[in-house]
Structure formats: C-alpha cells, structure tokens
Amino acid sequence: MLLRRSSHAFAFLAGISAAATAVEPLLSQPPAEWSVNTKPLLIIPNDIAGGDVLDRVRSITRRADGVIVVANGGSKRILLFNANGSLLKAVGRDGSGPGEFRQLASLRLAKNGAIHAYDGIARAVHVFSGDGSFQRAVSLTSVSERMPSGLRPLYLPVRDDVFLAFSTERFTSRPGSVFRPISVVYQVDANGPVSLGRYPSLEQFQGRTTGGTALVPLGRDLMVVASEQHTFIGDTGSDSIQVFNARGERLPAVRVPTSARALSGTQRDRLRDSVVKIAEASSRATAEDMQLAREVPIPLVRPAFRELAVDVDGLLWIQEHSWPSRSNRWTVVSSAGRVVSKINLPLGLRVKEIGRDYVLGVMFDEDGLESIHLVRLERR
C-alpha cells in the first residue's frame, strides 16, 4: 500500500507536531551567514552505469581523495564513485552470506579507510577495504543479548569502537488511535551498553483497512546524530536537544533556536487538502489510501525543527520547520548552544554529509527519482 511508503501522500505531515511546546530562542551574537553555491559541483544521476539505479540512498560519505561512497538501500549495494561521478565499483548484494545484505541501513568510513556497512535485519556490520573488497562481518547479537529484555539495537556508528543503539519498548495500539512508542537510546562500547535515556519516538496514526490496519506517520519523531565528541538527541516536539559527551555523560541541553507555532484552522484545512491532493495524484494510491488521507488526524502545532545533522567539525545543524512556506534553512550551533551561523541550502536537498567546504545530499524529481548532489559550502 501507498501508506507503507509514506514519502508520497503523507509527506506534508512530516515534522508537524500534535502538541504545543513553548520554545525560547538561543541568546548569542548575530550569527554569520554561510552560503552554498546554487550550482552543484557534481550531480550523480539516478540511472547509473552497470544497470543499477539510485534507490533509497541511506548514507553518503566523501573521502579525502574525492571518492564518494554510497549505501544504496534499494539494490543493497555499496557504490563507489570517483571525483567526477563515474562509477568505480559496486559491491554487496541481496543475501545472507559474507558481504551480502538483507537490509543495507547505513555506512561510515573508519579511520583506516575501511568501509563499515550495517545490515539492519541481520544485525551485523560488514567491513570492506577502501577499494571495496570484503574483509569480515561482525555480529551485534552479543550486544543485543546484554540489552534489557533482549531488545535489538539499531546501529549508528560514532567512532571505530563506539556506536549508538535504539530499542523501542513494547507498546499496544488500536485502530483509529494515535500512538507514540518510547525508545531507549544506548551508547555501546567494549564495556557494554549505557543508557542515554528514554524518549518518545515516531508518532503514528493506526488507520483501518479491509486487510487490517495501516500506519501513517504524523511527524513528531526522535532525531539522534553524533560526532566523535558529542551525541545529540532531539524530539521534534520538544524545545531542547539533549547533549552527551564521548563518555556518555549528560551535558547542558541545547535550546532549539526557533519556536513552535500553532496552526490556524485555515492552515490545517490547507494541510488536509494537500494530503488528499498528493494521494489523488499518485498512480499507486488505492481507495483505502484516499480514505485514510481523509481520516488521518491533522496536527495542531508546527514544531520548531525538522531534522538534525552534524558536520565534520562537530557542529550541530538544526533544520527549521518551514511549512506552510517552502525553504531549507538551517541554524548551526556549537555543542554549548552558541549560534555559529545560519544558512539556506538548495530547496529539496536532503542532507547526508557536511564537510568543511561541501554538502552532500539527495534530491528527488517530480517522479520521485533520486539523484546525488554535491554543493560547495562557503563558511565566513
């Protein structure tokens, strides 16, 4: 069903909050205005040489030699491109053997240049050399067994020897209800998992269908990003972002620099109309999709932020929530909450990596096809 691929009919609900939160702006000196060149330095198109296509790109990272490494979730392959965007090599495939993935969820580059790729279903990290040769697989089963109730981790690497894990507590829901499970975030190292706290995760509406139920995301969600020095945990329905150091110790929270705003009745009606129109325009929408588009609850409040990212210097990037206007504006803050800069990124660019002088991200065309864009970042 379309609702299981919620990026279409219900995209407008992403990040819209269902409960008001008072937010105070950060106090700082007037920030610098960084900028990006609107003309991309490089575009890797959807149709790749060798018969592969970009589909559900999970991670993108750029090496010092200009090689771009991509976790392509749709084909479950790791793609290596040279600095000009030409495909160098594709490794991995669907499967359960060495170097194969049941779900290619993410990747990162280790300090020695190795590629660490995570299989979200098998709960294993596959290690490849810098040229893409498979080396070994590391199971996370032992970590899962040491977590409360045997909960399984969702892997987010921080350093070569440290990663974050997310576990959702058991919950119940019923058709026609809105629910928001609680997730526990752990920092895991050689000594085992350490809890960084309990947080509300993705808010969803459980709609009725003839075949049972379908889950529709309503927007409020849990955002977790990390650098080598800090972990940032933010609830898009909250006015603050929790900060932890490399040892897992809690530091003073960072205040979100923009405020949540109530949606007027007119704005909520427009949001409803937008959801229905998007469903109507989709060739994959069914009659049940249309009914759910009319029944899904419309949130009351637009939250303060939509996404979080961390750049190569460990600065936290907070994407402002812009609906009903269209923008891609970010505020950059230090781990102590000082506003460093504000910046407008190209409209529609979904950020995957931020370097010293570039931003890497994914763009979608009107048919939903993905392409990778590299844009120049100018810090002043």
181 upstream amide cis, omega within 30 of 0? no
Question: Coil, strand or helix: which one is 233?
Answer: strand
Question: According to the model, what pLDDT value does residue 85 have?
Answer: 95
* Residue predicted with more confidence, 143 or 380: 380
Question: How many domains does the chain fold into?
Answer: 1
Q: How far apart are CA 56 and CA 72, in angstroms?
A: 6
Exposure string for 13-45, b = 16+ CB within 10 A, e = fewer: bbbbbbeebebeebeeeebeebebeeebbbebe
Closest by CA position to 81, among listed 38, 41, 136: 41
Strands 339-344 and 32-33: parallel
Question: According to the model, what pLDDT value does residue 7 have?
Answer: 36
For residue 79, pLDDT over 80 is answered with: yes
Q: What is the CATH number of the domain that holds 287?
A: 2.120.10.30
For residue 76, pLDDT over 90 is answered with: yes
For residue 21, pLDDT over 50 is answered with: no
> Whole-prediction pTM value?
0.85
C-alpha radius of gyration, the chain, whole number: 21
Handedness of CA 366, 370, 376, 380 (dihedral sign): positive
For 225-241, how does the pLDDT look when each residue is reduced to its tens digit (9 = 90+)?
999 899 999 998 788 99
Q: How far apart are CA 337 and CA 241, in angstroms?
A: 9
Q: How far apart are CA 223 and CA 58, in angstroms?
A: 15
Phi then psi for residue 287, to 5 deg, are -60, -35
Q: How far apart are CA 57 and CA 200, in angstroms?
A: 26
**Cβ pair 242, 197 in contact under 8 A:** yes
For residue 296, pLDDT over 60 is answered with: yes
Phi then psi for residue 148, to 5 deg, are -55, 135
For residue 325, pLDDT over 70 is answered with: no
Question: According to the model, what pLDDT value does residue 147 have?
Answer: 64
Question: According to the model, what pLDDT value does residue 15 have?
Answer: 40
Q: How far apart are CA 56 and CA 33, in angstroms?
A: 32
243 is in which domain, residue-wise? 2-378
Question: According to the model, what pLDDT value does residue 342 have?
Answer: 93
